[in-house]
A and B are shown apart, each in its own frame.
Chain A
């Protein structure tokens, strides 16, 4: 149960705690998870969260597919993941218990809404008997049964709400109780409820506040013998913070990138989990000149973005794996015409429709090779929710500076997960300088910058720069050319241009010593767990370092040297070994792949175990 330290007064002080709220998707678990997060953030903890939605919009209440959960890890130290396993589980009904109990740490706290353990509900959750009657439950966990329904209704008996509406407040009872257990402030939440609902539904807002308090006082009055915990403020860098999810950060980064490059942003997408919210959020930023188009499909979406880029906007499109398949042909066109274009893939589980609401990082090889012919384009990846901001800006930088389409890989875990973020100063962000061609007719379509090999765009509306582009092979002047030598030359230029992008990368950061026994080499959303595992082992004195790549294609120029400094290279991925294929073919290095394909992030302990194995070899 967390990392226990000193016992102060009646409180146990913990360094980190992992809590999971689980219930029916109608029970409001995401809402209270968000509230718990905000008050912990405001209190000053570092934290990371991960919501886990059901695949169905609203599966029948009480069923297993209908279970919705929200996990948060918060602490007084740096928090990199939402946590391996919950120290405390709140289960609002039997189905939630059925799905989530197996993850609860032994000895962990288990809060259940006993009222929900009716025969009908038990049956829907495939329980043959009531698990609360199982003595093992009490011996293995700190079981706290609360008739949440009853107390909720009791506390609202003075109000005029219907019985159904009363019961809808029960999530706040659970939240209040957990606030009490973890000695969190509740004012923050009260303010939030007032602000959000007072106007639309004042009676409900007040009811929620009443129930929240009831939950809190329930702890205080009836459970004085109960353990309570304290988690101190985290020692983090001073600054202004906000909470941010991956897709939010991506959206803000795109807008910031476009501003820094002085281009109008044109985003065109087609809804798909977990990328839809990028389109949704961007459509709220019209006052930044952002134009959004909900296209008829993913092909159209990228086509609109390409048209936008041709006409001088910064064209951006985003999707998930199945949509990436559909964009392949157009990516080839953008590659051939060398137009700037940002293509975002928020990855999810596959193949095919796969596991649309689970995370996976299995579209890397598609990003690198998923088009016909030799059509090289850069690929970069975000590594944490807040890092999506920087990654988006980096994508805009590369796309414009090198006049190239670029693929940005994020994933469902990053997109939906959230963490506190120390907000950078916008003035501190470099401008992205790649002007369009001068007007007046001295324009050569594929004339190139000597260093970057990038071409310069001329855009419709510019006098004298009229020109034609297209998907047929062409010569420097932009004329269609079937000449064999020209084709070979253009193909080499495209390849070389990709390579040159690596010259613009900062030196690769190594976490830990620059040489040693094991280097953990990774990319994408696994950053948090890997960094947590490696840091912990470094603190224990083990010879392990890690490098987490943002730039996957091309890879950094200094990577080979870094790899050479280690005896073994461990490549953990949430796929069957895709970075591994790239590393092996590019560096001929006998890496050790470590793969998990369960639609779920790595646990820190899975990684430490694996690293230990390697160290013992």
Chain B
């Protein structure tokens, strides 16, 4: 790490501080793994108990919108990875642009997700808001419930990520976040974004591709 990193209490030196920050973030991400883990367990158990109905229900998902959305997220992750790399070298302009871009891709993801919800709503498949009577089986209803919970939780995380990235782009662009001295902030936000991406990498196949 560069020597001119700012140090604050209770740290003795910059390296210690950097390591503590990174470690804190990794621990936090572990907690997020376990948070989503509960939902994944529910999905697996549901699939084990009702294999056929589960597959039937999954066939109603919009596979290609999901696939495209996965691509959008993966691309945004690339943008963030390069932006972080740039930020550590002090390339402020580049990071601003790439963070802005990644946040934009995040918005695209949410937009497509909203479109998907809308289609499902029109098919009468979206629980809570549309007519539960239209499900072909209770398992399909359950599947859609789980799907809604899982994707909504993910979308919430993504929305937070978008705010973080947009904030970063803003602060770097305005020069409020000195680079590369405060690069750690950028790194940490980047880690969060990638993690949200990883969650989707798992949600997509278990929900959409269970055919």
Partners in one complex: no
* Residues of chain A having any CB pair with chain B under 8 Å: none
